[in-house]
């Protein structure tokens, strides 16, 4: 604690109450607080951050001054302390969980993709972004560069890009871009030409890349990220081989036998440590797969009905009990959103559903009273949005997922939102914050700090266009 605080506190710690008779004058701690000065100061400093409050109270109690008569200086010191406590430091404490505000930047009003990524593509130390076949130079994102073949797609149909991820895939120190095209077609990555311009050279990732919302993570803990997806009866992940970077990525299937559930339009996948053993397990809509000691051998499947048609399945400790939970859409083409609390029963892992938006295939029923009333939550990202150290969830409506007449309420406002993880004692919930009502999400999107202010920014590509939501302090 600074010397300023100590001076102020020492001035007021034993400030006497005004009295006509000298004998009646007692220290504040005795007169008001049943001879305990901690309580008085605690009342004065209630708005302060707990750690700072503890330091201040300790300092007061450790002060051992003789009795001082009343003085104007001590009164002013007391007023200063109270004012400082209730205004300045309370603002500092509340700023730690401040709801971020965003400036919307429209990159394009054309449909180029339903995914996006962030990287430093010109190696100038400033984050750039990519949406579909264009990448945009930071920090203002006004200059666009075409790097693979694409077009202005018909929003009643589909694009050639359902997801995008960046990384240095050939070890040359430059960020490349991985493209997840229309489900069931061959995935590829585009090699950064090191500011040479023109279209980027393409290299294979996987044949018949399936699932509508893939994900990208360090599944094996090796420092190398893998693409999580399924293909023709097999569910698993593919990892680039640093010794053979231009060959198709090494695919590991986690199911032991072919399963027709895993096809090009399968919905729902995710990753996270469910068991608590430090290894990432893999989640799908009908259960979760436990990572074995040897990840190349079949993984153990634990059945649990998370969703009829999930999107990204987010794994983190929602309620702070030390066990990772699951957050996902109950149906990514209807209404429905929930989180699943992990519980242990007789040594077994199971989950309790906590509904946020009821599952519904109709415009007016159980979901009608939900706030926000939004359908088709088709992409998710977990990130700490308000800087309190707890992950939150960013998601939104996939506008016209199946065109203007498909799904439930396709023309409803295309909301982009984040759900704040709110813990209050034993009660935990997710609280919605609307960012925008005319954008939404695609099948994948990206979140990262683009302007260096420490607040996550959001990059969207979908049938309404391409957008950046840049945080404003």
176-197: pLDDT as tens digits: 999 999 999 999 999 999 999 9
Contact call for residues 29 and 14 (beta carbons, < 8 A): yes
pLDDT at 96 over 70: no
pLDDT of residue 289: 98
State how far the Cα of 273 lies from the Cα of 314, in Å rounded to an integer.
Answer: 11
State how far the Cα of 382 lies from the Cα of 375, in Å rounded to an integer.
Answer: 19
pLDDT tens per residue across span 384-424 = 999 999 999 999 999 999 999 989 999 999 999 999 999 99
Alpha-carbon distances, residue 373 vs 210, 359, 400 (angstroms): 30, 11, 16
User: Per-residue b/e over 161-193, b at no fewer than 16 CB within 10 Å?
Assistant: bbbbbbbebbeeebbbbbbbbebeeebbbbbbe
Backbone φ and ψ of 441, nearest 5°: -130, 180
Helix H or strand E encompassing 440: none
pLDDT at 90 over 80: no
State how far the Cα of 440 lies from the Cα of 444, in Å rounded to an integer.
Answer: 11
At residue 362 the predicted structure's pLDDT band, cuts being 50, 70 and 90, is confident
Strands (E), 65-123: 101-108, 117-119
pLDDT of residue 13: 36
Closest C-alpha to 316, from 308, 328, 307, 304: 328
Task: Give the count of beta carbons closer than 10 Å to the beta carbon of residue 113.
Answer: 30
Stronger pLDDT, 305 or 63, i.e. the higher one: 305
Which pTM value belongs to this model? 0.80
Closest C-alpha to 443, from 397, 378, 371, 387: 378
Contact call for residues 193 and 201 (beta carbons, < 8 A): yes
pLDDT of residue 365: 63
pLDDT at 130 over 60: yes
pLDDT tens per residue across span 21-35 = 333 333 333 223 333
At residue 198 the predicted structure's pLDDT band, cuts being 50, 70 and 90, is very high
State how far the Cα of 230 lies from the Cα of 264, in Å rounded to an integer.
Answer: 7
pLDDT tens per residue across span 240-282 = 999 999 999 999 999 999 999 999 999 999 999 999 999 999 9
State how far the Cα of 152 lies from the Cα of 66, in Å rounded to an integer.
Answer: 81
Percent of all residues in the chain with a pLDDT value above 90, rounded to a whole number: 75
At residue 223 the predicted structure's pLDDT band, cuts being 50, 70 and 90, is very high
Contact call for residues 441 and 458 (beta carbons, < 8 A): no
pLDDT of residue 86: 42
At residue 373 the predicted structure's pLDDT band, cuts being 50, 70 and 90, is confident
Helix (H, G, I), strand (E, B) or coil at 369: helix
State how far the Cα of 127 lies from the Cα of 362, in Å rounded to an integer.
Answer: 42
pLDDT at 346 over 80: yes
Contact call for residues 451 and 459 (beta carbons, < 8 A): no
pLDDT of residue 363: 66
Give the residue-averaged pLDDT of 131-146. 98
pLDDT of residue 367: 56
Helix (H, G, I), strand (E, B) or coil at 3: helix
pLDDT tens per residue across span 60-89 = 333 333 333 444 445 444 444 444 444 443
């Amino acid at each position: 604690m600074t010397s300023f605080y100590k001076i102020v506190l020492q001035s007021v710690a034993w400030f006497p109450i005004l009295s006509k008779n000298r004998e009646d004058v007692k220290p504040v701690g005795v007169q008001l607080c049943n001879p305990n000065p901690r309580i008085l100061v605690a009342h004065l400093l209630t708005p302060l951050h707990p750690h700072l409050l503890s330091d201040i109270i300790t300092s007061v109690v450790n002060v051992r001054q003789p009795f001082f008569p009343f003085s104007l200086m001590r009164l002013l010191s007391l007023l200063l302390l109270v004012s400082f406590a209730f205004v300045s430091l309370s603002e500092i404490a509340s700023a730690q969980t401040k709801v971020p505000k965003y400036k919307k930047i429209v990159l394009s009003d054309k449909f180029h993709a339903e995914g996006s990524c962030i990287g430093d593509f010109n190696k100038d130390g400033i984050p750039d972004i990519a949406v579909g076949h264009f990448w945009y130079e930071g920090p203002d994102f006004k200059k666009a560069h075409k790097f693979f073949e694409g077009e202005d797609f018909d929003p009643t149909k589909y694009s050639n890009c359902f997801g995008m991820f960046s990384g240095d895939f050939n070890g040359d120190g430059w960020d490349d871009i991985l493209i997840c095209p229309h489900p069931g077609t061959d995935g590829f990555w585009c090699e950064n030409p090191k500011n040479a311009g023109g279209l980027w050279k393409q290299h294979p990732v996987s044949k018949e890349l399936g699932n509508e919302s893939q994900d990208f993570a360090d599944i094996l803990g090796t420092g190398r990220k893998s693409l999580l997806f399924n293909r023709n009866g097999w569910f698993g992940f593919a990892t680039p081989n640093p010794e053979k970077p231009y060959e198709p990525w090494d695919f590991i299937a986690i199911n032991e036998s072919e399963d027709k559930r895993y096809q090009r339009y399968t919905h729902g996948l995710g990753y996270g440590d469910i068991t608590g053993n430090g290894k990432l397990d893999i989640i799908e809509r009908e259960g979760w797969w436990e990572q074995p000691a040897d990840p190349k051998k079949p993984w153990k499947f634990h059945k649990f009905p998370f969703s009829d048609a999930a999107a990204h399945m987010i794994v983190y400790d929602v309620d702070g009990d030390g066990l990772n939970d699951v957050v996902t859409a109950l149906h990514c083409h209807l209404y429905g959103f929930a989180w699943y609390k992990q519980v242990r029963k007789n040594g077994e892992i199971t989950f309790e559903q906590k509904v946020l938006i009821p599952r519904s295939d109709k415009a007016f029923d159980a979901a009608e009273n939900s706030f926000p009333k939004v359908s088709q939550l088709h992409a998710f990202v977990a990130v700490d949005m308000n800087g309190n150290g707890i992950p939150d969830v960013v998601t939104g409506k996939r506008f016209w997922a199946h065109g203007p007449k498909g799904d439930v309420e396709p023309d409803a406002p295309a909301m982009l939102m984040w759900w704040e993880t709110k813990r209050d004692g034993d009660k935990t919930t997710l609280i919605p914050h609307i960012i925008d009502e005319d954008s939404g999400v695609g099948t994948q999107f990206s979140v990262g700090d683009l302007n260096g202010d420490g607040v996550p920014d959001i990059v969207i590509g979908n049938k309404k266009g391409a957008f950046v939501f840049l945080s404003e302090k």
